[in-house]
Structure 1
Amino acid sequence: MKKEVPIEQKGFRRFLSKLGPGLITGASDDDPSGITTYSQAGAQFGFATLWTAVITFPLMVAVQEMCARIGAITSMGLTGTLKKHYPRWILWVIVITSFPAIILNIGADIAGMGAVSNLIFPRIPAFVFTIGFTIFITVSMIFFSYQQIASILKYTCIVLLAYLIVPFITKTSWNKVAVSIFLPHISFSKDYIEMLVAFLGTTISPYLFFWQATMEAEDIKHQRRRVVVNKQLLTDVRQDVTAGIFCSNLVMMFIIITCGNVLFSHGTTKITTVEQAASALKPLAGAFSYWLFAIGIIGTGMLAIPVLCGSLSYMFAETFNWKEGLDKKFSQAKPFYGIIVLSLGVGLAINYVGVSPVQGLFYTAVLYGLTAPLMISVILHICNNRRIMGKYVNKRWSNILGGIAFIFMTVAAVFLLYLQFMT
């Protein structure tokens, strides 16, 4: 007689089975570029920026849930939805501004992975690792099917656990952590405001909007049975998105805690790259903490770079009506895979033409910061358009949180431009 599975266990198994596009999207937000920003915050301000993880969490969930709902309802990505229902100039503005930002992000992530790998294996030059990682990711995306890539990315998220371990093997004042989260200290210094702006640009990134919508549509297409879009499906989608963003923000907090506890408390406040953060941890927190931090950077790069180049490829494919899909062979979708190869190649080349990873991160933040308000306003308009979304238009709280995200990102963009060019 077959043994019955407890209801609770069934519920937990069902929850795990629902995790997919939302989890991958959220986890990919913690790429080497993001880790650099969080490390800088912890080293420079200690625990003082931890509260931002709590504030950005509901905003990120609201925006990503709207993107996921668009993909589920329309069976298209954001680019396809814009092309079908909106003036062409809106589509072109978003594509033109997104392309260089994503390319720079790819380049910065590849550079970070190469530099950290060189720290682990100092006899091998960093450029060898950057080339190797680029080739490996390119080949994987061309020859693996959508299901294989989705599965690999899903389980690659496990690498994020490395960042949840480090604070527990160093002497962490959890009382101070709790106070910083729930009783935030806000400074109006230029450096502190710049860091808050960088947080918003790093956590609420436009490329995640494209990937979330497209992967939700792809995920439904690849179900073995016909999927009916109903309240239960959208509830599952919301839980998937929430789980992904929760993981992303939790990792963000633990990186800040690690660097604040180890680096800031020992006077190491100037961190500009991920390899500097990893190197600084070694003498202060021990070799094990250093290894975990470094391996986490490589793992998150392997997770984020396919999302970055994939989102760009889907964006162009929908714009130009190319055959698309990671389940197609290279010969069936040459332009689609061509964008993946091109974006990875250009991202790699950026590191050898005089653009430093730090410069790349700055320009990426500027472009994301300028693009995000426009993207969020478009997403809000789509999700309130009954002609597109039918009865699944936004509820009140989605509009409120989405509106707050739009205001925050607009203010952040204005501050970013003011602080960099007027002071």
Structure 2
Amino acid sequence: MKNSIRKYIGPGPLVAAAFIGPGTVTVCTLAGVNFGFDLLWALLLSVIATIVLQETAARIGLISQKGLTEIIRQEIGQPVARIISLVLVIMAIVIGNAAYEAGNIGGAVLGLEAFGTLPTFQLNSINISPFPLITGLLAWGLLMSGSYKKVEQFMVMVVILMSLVFLITASMSQPKFNDLLTGFVPNINGENIMTIVALIGTTVVPYNLFLHTSLVAKKWNTPADLKYARVDTVISVVLGGLVSMAILITGTLGEASNIQSVLDLSKSVEPLLGASSPYFLGVGLFAAGITSSITAPLAGALVVCGCFGWSSELSSKEMRWTFSVILFLGIIFSSLGIKPVQLITIAQLANGILLPVLSTFILWVINRKQLMGNFKNSLRWNILTFAIWIITWVLGIKSIISVI
């Protein structure tokens, strides 16, 4: 029985953990603060879009037994197009994840600071906090274990903990059922459009597609395992979506003028949680930060190794060097208070181009009979995927415009 259950547990929790980072926590909190329950429908749409894209990525990984970067390298026959595609992937995923890693570590640190602070030390008149180093070393140590299984087990544990924190907080607020239902009725206007795009954009994450394809190929290896991969994907993404909705619901308790992050909600939820509210929310924010601090460098390393045809085993020296560089750049940026604005701008621009291009490539690959065989898309699934493809283009164009 125990072994049977384990077959259904794969990289899904890593996918959920990757999109519930500090950025998502902040966006969902502010959505609840500013618009109440009105944007729950946007989160539902983002969950559906993520399930469709991640199931497609998982199916490609399982049937081809290759990572997405390896497929790009092998399936795009035109050399110039292949080189452009791989450069774009490296810019968006590797540079982007290195830049955003500081935010992931910073979110985890903010959660830790709810429990107290540690003495800082000076380096050339610069105050350095030890929390980012502690957080980064925890993530690095887990990745250096060389075991995908250990990473998965840790992620399952932390995602469950994070889920309990936010789901319990939301349920204790006792939202009215009719108000919740009203929130699932689409409502778009000039005031909320930016937040809607942000909610969908923080859930539909390009690097998750690379991460999922590679890890599914490592977890399962026969077409008969597709049912396990699908259950793992759906349950994990739905759970992640419920956590995001719980954060939004909790955000409705706050006042717009006082809330910038989830920890600022602690005074608003004191009637529910009492004096423990900062610690309770601190655990949730730390969990969101530490999981993203692990998945971002892992995805970046898988992309680099896939681009150059290197081993993607977690214990290989190529993987270790790559995720170490990404992670330690995040530690440096976070410890020194450096905001890698230019890197983030480049990453946003590359992501804005990559997401629609990648979704187009995935749509093409999943319909290639010679690669997918009988597991290529059906007409019904193609219609659904095409609808999601349109959304990725809207998000991509919006990202490019915001940078320009």
Task: Kindly state the Cα deviation for residue 163 of structure 1 after the two structures are TM-superposed.
Answer: 0.7
Q: Which residue of 2 aligns with 1:229?
A: 223
Separation of aligned partners in 2, 1:337 and 1:18: 28
CA displacement, residues 345-380 of structure 1 (integer Å, 9 cap, x when unaligned)? 111222356644999878765543332111111111
Closer/same/farther in 2, CA of residues 284 and 100 from structure 1, 3 Å limit: farther
Q: For 1:338-353, what aligned pairs fall within 5 Å after superposition?
A: 338-351=321-334
CA displacement 1:386-423 (0-9 Å, x = unmatched): 122122111223322222222112122333444665xx
Corresponding position of 1:219: 219
Partner of 1:169: 172
Q: 1:120 aligns with which of 111, 115, 119?
A: 115
Find the aligned partners of 1:155 and 1:20 in 2 and give their Cα distance: 13
Is residue 30 of structure 1 aligned with residue 20 of structure 2?
Answer: yes
| Partner residue of 1:48 out of 38, 41, 48 | 38
Contact persistence 1:278–1:294 (CA under 8 A): no
User: Contact 1:198–1:365 at 8 Å: present in 2 too?
Assistant: no
Unaligned stretches of 5+ in structure 1?
1-9, 221-226
State the percentage of identical aligned residues.
22
Q: Distance in 2 between matches of 1:344 and 1:214?
A: 20
Distance 1:95 1:251, change over 3 A: same
Aligned match of 1:141 in 140, 143, 147?
143
SS of residue paired to 2:286? helix
Deviations 1:1-50 (A, max 9, x none): xxxxxxxxx6x984564022123312331112211111111112111111
- Please give the secondary structure, in 1, of the residue aligned with 2:374: coil
Match of 1:96 among 91, 95, 107: 91
Relative distance call for 1:17 and 1:257 in structure 2 (3 A) is: same
- Number of the residue aligned with 2:382: 399
Q: Is the 8 A contact 2:105 2:289 kept in 1?
A: yes
2:146–2:313 Cα contact (<8 Å) kept: no
Alpha-carbon distance in 1 for matches of 2:247, 2:343: 21
Shift of 1:65: 0.5
One-letter code aligned to 1:229? P
Q: Provide closer, same or farther for how the CA distance between residues 356 and 259 of structure 1 changes in structure 2, counting only shifts above 3 A.
A: farther
- The corresponding residue for 1:63 is 53
- Residues 279/323 of structure 1: CA separation in 2 closer, same or farther (3 Å cut): farther
Q: 1:251 to 1:363 in 2, by over 3 A?
A: farther
1:99-110 alignment, distance < 5 Å? 99-110=94-105
The aligned residue for residue 259 of structure 1 is 251
Instruction: Using the TM superposition, give the Cα deviation of residue 280 of structure 1 relative to its aligned residue in structure 2, in angstroms.
Output: 5.8
Whole-Å separation in 1 of the counterparts to 2:311 and 2:267: 45
Moved more, 168-177 or 66-75: 168-177
Q: Residues 45-74 of structure 1, C-alpha deviation per residue, up to 9 Å, x if partnerless?
A: 111111112212221111001111111111
Task: Provide the residue aligned with 1:5 in structure 2.
Answer: none
Tell me which amino acid in the other structure corresponds to 2:222: V
Report the count of equivalent residues: 391
Segment of structure 1 superposing worse, 368-377 or 199-208: 368-377
Inter-CA distance 122–351: structure 2 relative to 1 (3 Å threshold):
closer
**Partners of 1:357 and 1:290 in 2: how far apart?**
29
Q: TM-score, normalised by structure 2?
A: 0.88
Residue 136 to residue 392, structure 1, CA distance change in 2 (3 Å): same
CA distance in 2, matches of 1:31, 1:139: 20
- Residue among 212, 231, 245 paired with 2:237: 245
Q: 1:154 aligns with which of 153, 156, 165?
A: 156
Q: Secondary structure in 1 aligned to 2:375?
A: coil
Question: Hey, what does 1:380 align to over in structure 2?
Answer: 363
1:301 is displaced (CA, Å) by 2.1
Pairwise CA distance, 1:188: 2.2
Instruction: Say whether 1:302 aligns with 2:285.
Output: no
Structure 2: distance between partners of 1:277 and 1:80: 44
CA RMSD in angstroms comes to: 2.6
Rounded Cα–Cα distance in structure 2 between residues aligned with 1:24 and 1:119: 25
Q: Is 107-116 or 153-162 further displaced after alignment?
A: 153-162
Instruction: Please list the CA deviations of residues 201-240 of structure 1 after superposition, one character each: whole Å capped at 9, or x if unmatched.
Output: 20000110011001101112xxxxxx4323xx21221111
**Is residue 62–residue 222 contact of structure 2 (8 Å, CA) maintained in 1?**
no
Partner amino acid for 1:307? T
- How far apart are the structure 2 equivalents of 1:256 and 1:365? 24
**Residue type at the aligned position of 2:61:** G
> Which amino acid is 1:134 matched to?
G
Residues 292-338 of structure 1: CA deviation (Å, up to 9, x unaligned): 22101111222222211111101111111222212x3xxxx222101
**Aligned 1:300-339 pairs, distance under 5 A:** 300-326=288-314, 328=315, 333-339=316-322
Structure 2 CA distance for aligned equivalents of residues 248 and 357 of structure 1? 28
Q: 1:63 to 1:413 in 2, by over 3 A?
A: same
User: Cα 1:378–1:313, aligned 2, differ >3 Å: closer, same or farther?
Assistant: same
Residue by residue, what CA displacement relative to the aligned partner does 1:124-182 show, whole Å, maximum 9, x if unpaired? 5582111111112112211242222222222222112211000222343232112212x
Which range moves more in the overlay, 166-175 or 49-58?
A: 166-175
One-letter identity of the residue aligned with 1:251: V
- Tell me which residue corresponds to 1:129: 131
Distance 2:70 2:386 in 1: 23
- 1:187 is paired with a residue of what secondary structure? coil
In structure 2, give the amino acid aligned to 1:255. I
Aligned to 1:224: none
Matched to 2:168, the amino acid is I
Mark the CA change 1:109 to 1:84 in structure 2 (over 3 Å): closer, same or farther.
Answer: same
Shift of 1:256: 0.2
| Partner in structure 2 of residue 389 of structure 1 | 372
* 1:414 maps onto 2:402 in alignment: no
